[in-house]
Amino acid sequence: MKTPRYTPLAAALPATVPFVGPETQERQRGAPFTARLGANENVFGPSPRAIAAMQAAAADIWMYGDPESFDLRQALAQHHGVSPANIIVGEGIDCLLGYLVRLLVGPGDAVVTSDGAYPTFNYHVAGFGGVLHKVPYVDDHEDPASLFAKAAEVDAKLVYLANPDNPMGSWHTGADIIAALDTLPDGCLLVLDEAYIECAPKGTAAPVDINDPRVIRMRTFSKIYGMAGARVGYGMGAQDLITAFNKVRNHFGMNRTAQAGALAALADNDWLVHVQTEIANARTRIADIAAANGLSALPSATNFVTIDCGRDATFAKAVLDGLIAEGIFVRMPFVAPQNRCIRISCGRPQDLDAFADALPKALHAAGS
Ligand SMILES: Cc1ncc(COP(=O)(O)O)c(C=O)c1O
């Protein structure tokens, strides 16, 4: 008998690695990147107060983190004007999405997302045997109306919507999302991924009633708070749903350094405003660089800018390869028609200088 004896589901999953990290690419190319602008990290870094808190907590790392993330949940509850019982803290949104799918999706259950939307969610759905149904983007936006209509058609248990969206940077107003909720079918939960919400214009966050059982919102310390490596995210929703996470979550998944850092980051609003300003400046600069090269940048409510390369996916991929050859780590959407674009994370002036220098060369090499 062959061992190990995988579950039929695990045996059927593709053996490929879904995400190739920049470190892997650096090892493959035998040189570090000059600018790291591909993973929508926050190059401006965490609050100095968060760094100090993590340094101070480092000596206590021999202890497990508080499995209830009590202090952080208290602070988040105060920040959002809700009860700590409405908040689940976990190892980034990516991990919380996995827990959520595990709670709701079994083999054969229907789930809806947009074709080309944030792929980690799809990966979890596949891992629990769910059946993904996809609707197209509309004018480079995820479309709540078609998502919810598809959910009704296939009797979906879960529907995913990122607002603002990755990879296109587009967004809907919170009011429009609340209005669309009227068409969310009974028995279907909306997971509203708000990873980039602090980068978006006022009014983008959907003012969902915290005890509305139809919606769970996901937030993260990876983007505006600049702590992607610490792995801290949280979900906000009705108390029953939040409590259910305790059935499946890794109770000792949070490390105490990350908990201390997130707590300090949340308290430093000045740094948040500073980063928002840096991001706004970088978005303008990226759009200017695109325009100077005859390309157009899509409007963005995130910490990245998606640039329309103006032709097909083959051309966009050639531009991307050219940038990587020039030492600029960037990524691009996976699916047509979004894959006519490349996606550039907001960087410091020196990162964007390097991008500005590399883009004409990449376009030339791509045959522009
Ligand atoms: C839409 C979206 N959700 C979630 C994440 C990941 O968040 P976290 O680092 O909290 O897992 C990302 C990261 O790129 C993202 O773009």
Ligand 1: which of 41, 42, 93, 172 to mutate, most ligand atoms within 8 Å of CB?
93
Q: Could you state, in order of their start, the residue ranges of all structural domains in the chain?
A: 19-45+270-367, 48-267
How much is the pTM?
A: 0.97
Q: What is the pLDDT of residue 16?
A: 80
| 2 Cα to the center of ligand 1, angstroms | 37
User: Whats the size of the chain, residue-wise?
Assistant: 368
Cα 367 to the center of its chain, rounded Å:
32
Measured on CA atoms in the order 190, 191, 195, 198, is the torsion positive or negative? Answer: positive
In contact, 297 and 339? CB cutoff 8 Å: no
* Pocket lining: 195 vs ligand 1, CB cutoff 6 Å: yes
Residues of the chain with pLDDT under 50: none
| 124 Cα to the center of ligand 1, angstroms | 14
> How large is the angle between the packed helices 48-58 and 269-292, nearest 10 degrees?
120
For ligand 1, what atom is nearest to the CA of residue 232? 10
CATH of domain 19-45+270-367: 3.90.1150.10
Q: What is the pLDDT of residue 19?
A: 81
Look up residue 101 and give its two tokens: 């799918």
| 233 Cα to the center of ligand 1, angstroms | 9
Query: pLDDT, tens digit, for every residue of 180-206?
Result: 999 999 999 999 999 999 999 999 999
Cα separation, 169 vs 305, in Å, equals 7
| 92 Cα to the center of ligand 1, angstroms | 7
Query: pLDDT, tens digit, for every residue of 76-130?
Result: 999 999 999 999 999 999 999 999 999 999 999 999 999 999 999 999 999 999 9
For ligand 1, what atom is nearest to the CA of residue 39? 14
Provide the CATH topology of domain 48-267: Aspartate Aminotransferase; domain 2 (3.40.640)
For ligand 1, what atom is nearest to the CA of residue 94? 11
| 122 Cα to the center of ligand 1, angstroms | 13
For ligand 1, what atom is nearest to the CA of residue 96? 11
